[in-house]
Structure 1
């Protein structure tokens, strides 16, 4: 059941890419940007959104590109970390806020960290849930590191295309 007062809209974040955004709370309140994990949607934040709005914050939770009601670019190359961070940068610009609080969960935590690293000027504070920070590794690509640490049964490995 959707919480009362949630507003929905589409925001163009890149040429041909629109994100579905759910938000609740005062339009002029400080923004808390909630970045979902995999596989999830804005809806996973619904309880936190209501609690934040009750405290005067404007809680904003997009469906990331490729999820829910957001656009699904067909090319795998359209999902790089630069595209994902760019989506959040464009969303923050649309919110007309100089800085936002950011909360990331799971895969969304990875995107949130990169937002902080690439555009620290836009982030007032960051809270990430469920995932520890791992800086770039000299041991290979992220997938190679996951395979070495967790083996082929890790979900990231299982979701790769078979060749």
Structure 2
């Protein structure tokens, strides 16, 4: 996209990559993407690679980001993991939010047991979030295929219903089975994604899933809270 400025910003002790467009004369929109998306399809991208990524830490990082950018309030647009972060962003700091738009992830209602326990009970051990829990396992399966082929498989998937991946098949399936690009995804897009994941690997994104139960525990004080923005 033309007119986008890319820069690295040191916020909250981490180096955050930001893709920015526009000026401070217009209302600011904070785009929060999910996994395995990157900022190529948004305007503001955040990504950092920790041993565990916890929702409260990320909200703190985003507050530090908008402070660093000199913004008072933002419109928040979230998708997938970005939507989950956006919910808690609005719960914790409604004073910094003009409005919220979320897709793909519903408001995180509280339940009696941990998210991974509920997911295993509902969909079985082969459900992809359950399969992501053990460090190194999914990464090893990803490594059996090329990164470009994996990215294409992720975005071209059209199977309805819960995503279950038996161990005998593995993520990415056969490394010799090519995936077909959907009409909205170009070879250039795939090459960009592959170059970034080849550089840093998938562990950063997968750790969001591995911190799911811990984030659930830490957000207990906001049980049954309502999202309110000015």
TM-score normalised to structure 1 length: 0.76
Structure exhibiting the larger radius of gyration computed from Cα positions = 2
| Secondary structure class of the residue paired with 1:19 | strand
Which residue matches 1:35?
32
Relative to its length, the structure with more strand (as a share) is: 1
Which residue matches 1:111?
85
Q: Structure 1's 4 and 99: CA in aligned 2 closer, same or farther, altered over 3 A?
A: same
**1:93 aligns to 2:90 (yes or no):** no
Deviation at 1:32, TM superposition (A): 0.3
Deviation at 1:130, TM superposition (A): 1.4
Deviation at 1:36, TM superposition (A): 0.3
Alpha-carbon distance in 1 for matches of 2:69, 2:121: 41
Give me the CA root mean square deviation. Answer: 1.8
Q: 1:4 aligns with which of 2, 12, 17?
A: 2
| Secondary structure class of the residue paired with 1:62 | coil
Equivalent residue runs for 1:11-22 within 5 Å: 11-15=9-13, 17-22=14-19
Aligned residues between the structures: 136
Bigger RCO (CA 8 Å, 6+ sep): 2
Structure 1 residues without counterparts, runs of 5 or longer: 46-59, 66-71
Which residue matches 1:48?
none
Q: 1:36, 1:64 within 8 Å by CA — same for their partners in 2? A: no
Which residue matches 1:57?
none
Deviation at 1:11, TM superposition (A): 1.4
Which residue matches 1:146?
119
Alpha-carbon distance in 1 for matches of 2:16, 2:104: 24
Equivalent residue runs for 1:33-72 within 5 Å: 33-45=30-42, 60-65=43-48, 72=49
